[in-house]
Amino acid sequence: MPPPLPAAPRRGWWQRHWRWAVPLLGLFCTAAFAGFIALLMFVVFEGIRASDAYTTAMQRAREHPQVTQALGTPVESGWYLMGEVTVSGLSGEASLQIPISGPKGEADLYVEAEKSAGQWTYSTLLVDVDGQDAPIDLLADESAGRADR
Protein backbone atom coordinates (compact mmCIF):
# COMPACT_ATOMS: atom_id res chain seq x y z
CA MET A 1 0.00 0.00 0.00
CA PRO A 2 1.41 3.41 -0.94
CA PRO A 3 2.07 5.93 1.81
CA PRO A 4 -0.67 8.56 2.29
CA LEU A 5 -0.24 11.79 0.39
CA PRO A 6 0.72 14.78 2.54
CA ALA A 7 -2.21 17.12 3.16
CA ALA A 8 -2.17 20.33 1.19
CA PRO A 9 -1.13 23.25 3.40
CA ARG A 10 -4.15 25.13 4.65
CA ARG A 11 -4.56 28.57 3.06
CA GLY A 12 -4.34 31.56 5.43
CA TRP A 13 -7.22 33.85 6.35
CA TRP A 14 -6.19 36.56 3.88
CA GLN A 15 -5.95 34.10 1.00
CA ARG A 16 -9.44 32.80 1.73
CA HIS A 17 -11.21 36.17 2.35
CA TRP A 18 -9.40 38.85 0.34
CA ARG A 19 -12.29 39.27 -2.13
CA TRP A 20 -14.56 40.85 0.47
CA ALA A 21 -11.87 42.15 2.84
CA VAL A 22 -10.34 44.57 0.29
CA PRO A 23 -13.61 46.44 -0.48
CA LEU A 24 -14.48 46.45 3.22
CA LEU A 25 -11.07 47.91 4.07
CA GLY A 26 -11.58 50.59 1.38
CA LEU A 27 -15.01 51.42 2.77
CA PHE A 28 -13.59 51.66 6.30
CA CYS A 29 -10.79 54.01 5.17
CA THR A 30 -13.30 56.22 3.31
CA ALA A 31 -15.60 56.36 6.34
CA ALA A 32 -12.68 57.17 8.66
CA PHE A 33 -11.56 60.01 6.37
CA ALA A 34 -15.11 61.40 6.13
CA GLY A 35 -15.42 61.19 9.93
CA PHE A 36 -12.15 63.06 10.36
CA ILE A 37 -13.31 65.83 8.01
CA ALA A 38 -16.67 66.06 9.84
CA LEU A 39 -14.88 66.28 13.19
CA LEU A 40 -12.56 68.99 11.87
CA MET A 41 -15.53 71.02 10.56
CA PHE A 42 -17.35 70.61 13.87
CA VAL A 43 -14.34 71.89 15.84
CA VAL A 44 -13.85 74.88 13.53
CA PHE A 45 -17.57 75.81 13.48
CA GLU A 46 -17.87 75.50 17.26
CA GLY A 47 -14.81 77.73 17.66
CA ILE A 48 -16.46 80.38 15.51
CA ARG A 49 -19.76 80.01 17.39
CA ALA A 50 -17.92 80.56 20.68
CA SER A 51 -16.44 83.87 19.51
CA ASP A 52 -17.74 87.18 20.82
CA ALA A 53 -18.20 88.47 17.26
CA TYR A 54 -20.56 85.60 16.40
CA THR A 55 -22.56 85.66 19.65
CA THR A 56 -23.04 89.44 19.57
CA ALA A 57 -24.09 89.40 15.91
CA MET A 58 -26.61 86.61 16.55
CA GLN A 59 -27.95 88.41 19.64
CA ARG A 60 -28.47 91.62 17.64
CA ALA A 61 -30.22 89.72 14.84
CA ARG A 62 -32.51 87.92 17.31
CA GLU A 63 -33.45 91.21 19.01
CA HIS A 64 -33.93 93.37 15.90
CA PRO A 65 -37.65 94.02 15.24
CA GLN A 66 -37.38 93.91 11.42
CA VAL A 67 -35.56 90.57 11.53
CA THR A 68 -38.07 88.99 13.90
CA GLN A 69 -40.92 90.36 11.79
CA ALA A 70 -39.42 88.90 8.59
CA LEU A 71 -38.28 85.54 10.00
CA GLY A 72 -40.45 85.03 13.08
CA THR A 73 -39.15 83.79 16.39
CA PRO A 74 -37.03 82.03 17.39
CA VAL A 75 -34.25 83.04 15.02
CA GLU A 76 -31.72 80.20 14.82
CA SER A 77 -28.42 79.85 13.00
CA GLY A 78 -27.70 77.14 10.47
CA TRP A 79 -24.98 74.57 11.02
CA TYR A 80 -22.75 75.58 8.10
CA LEU A 81 -20.86 78.87 8.48
CA MET A 82 -18.61 80.64 6.04
CA GLY A 83 -15.81 83.01 6.93
CA GLU A 84 -13.26 83.31 9.65
CA VAL A 85 -12.56 84.79 13.05
CA THR A 86 -8.96 85.61 13.91
CA VAL A 87 -8.11 86.78 17.42
CA SER A 88 -4.68 87.51 18.83
CA GLY A 89 -4.77 88.85 22.36
CA LEU A 90 -6.82 92.04 22.46
CA SER A 91 -7.05 92.45 18.68
CA GLY A 92 -8.70 90.51 15.91
CA GLU A 93 -10.88 90.42 12.84
CA ALA A 94 -14.09 88.65 11.88
CA SER A 95 -15.65 88.14 8.48
CA LEU A 96 -18.66 85.82 8.57
CA GLN A 97 -21.70 84.73 6.61
CA ILE A 98 -24.16 83.03 8.95
CA PRO A 99 -27.29 81.34 7.60
CA ILE A 100 -30.22 82.10 9.91
CA SER A 101 -33.83 81.06 9.84
CA GLY A 102 -37.11 81.35 11.65
CA PRO A 103 -40.60 79.93 11.22
CA LYS A 104 -41.40 82.46 8.47
CA GLY A 105 -38.25 82.27 6.35
CA GLU A 106 -34.52 82.16 5.86
CA ALA A 107 -31.77 84.75 5.60
CA ASP A 108 -28.02 85.30 5.72
CA LEU A 109 -26.34 87.40 8.39
CA TYR A 110 -23.21 89.16 7.13
CA VAL A 111 -20.67 90.25 9.74
CA GLU A 112 -17.52 92.33 9.32
CA ALA A 113 -15.86 93.35 12.58
CA GLU A 114 -12.54 94.37 14.04
CA LYS A 115 -11.37 93.89 17.59
CA SER A 116 -9.14 96.54 19.14
CA ALA A 117 -8.25 96.87 22.83
CA GLY A 118 -10.60 93.98 23.57
CA GLN A 119 -13.69 95.62 22.01
CA TRP A 120 -15.37 94.51 18.80
CA THR A 121 -16.36 97.25 16.34
CA TYR A 122 -18.76 96.21 13.60
CA SER A 123 -18.44 97.79 10.15
CA THR A 124 -21.05 95.49 8.56
CA LEU A 125 -23.98 93.79 10.22
CA LEU A 126 -26.58 93.01 7.51
CA VAL A 127 -29.41 90.49 7.29
CA ASP A 128 -30.27 89.55 3.72
CA VAL A 129 -33.74 87.97 3.91
CA ASP A 130 -34.66 85.60 1.08
CA GLY A 131 -37.30 87.22 -1.11
CA GLN A 132 -36.68 90.82 0.06
CA ASP A 133 -35.00 93.37 -2.15
CA ALA A 134 -33.05 95.32 0.46
CA PRO A 135 -31.05 93.86 3.34
CA ILE A 136 -31.78 94.86 6.93
CA ASP A 137 -28.94 96.97 8.35
CA LEU A 138 -28.57 96.15 12.04
CA LEU A 139 -26.14 99.05 12.49
CA ALA A 140 -28.51 101.71 11.06
CA ASP A 141 -29.96 102.57 14.49
CA GLU A 142 -26.48 103.00 15.97
CA SER A 143 -25.21 105.26 13.18
CA ALA A 144 -28.37 107.40 13.37
CA GLY A 145 -27.86 107.71 17.14
CA ARG A 146 -24.26 108.82 16.65
CA ALA A 147 -25.28 111.43 14.05
CA ASP A 148 -27.73 112.98 16.51
CA ARG A 149 -24.99 113.62 19.07
How far is the CA of 112 from the CAs of 5, 7, 75, 104, in angstroms?
83, 77, 20, 26
CATH 3.10.450.320 fits 52-148, yes or no: yes
For residues 71-100, b (16+ Cβ closer than 10 Å) or e, as one string? beeebebeeebeeebeeeeeebbbbbebeb
Instruction: Return phi, psi of residue 139, to 5°.
Output: -95, -5
Q: What is the pLDDT of residue 143?
A: 54
Q: What is the pLDDT of residue 40?
A: 94
Q: What is the pLDDT of residue 64?
A: 93
Domain ranges for the chain, please list them: 15-50, 52-148
- The residues that bridge with 128 in the sheet, in sequence order, are 108
Instruction: Return phi, psi of residue 141, to 5°.
Output: -65, -40
- Give me the tens of pLDDT residue by residue for the chain, a chain 149 residues long: 788 877 777 888 888 888 988 999 999 999 999 999 999 999 998 988 989 999 999 999 999 999 999 999 899 999 889 999 999 989 999 999 999 999 999 999 999 999 999 899 999 999 999 988 899 999 886 654 444 33
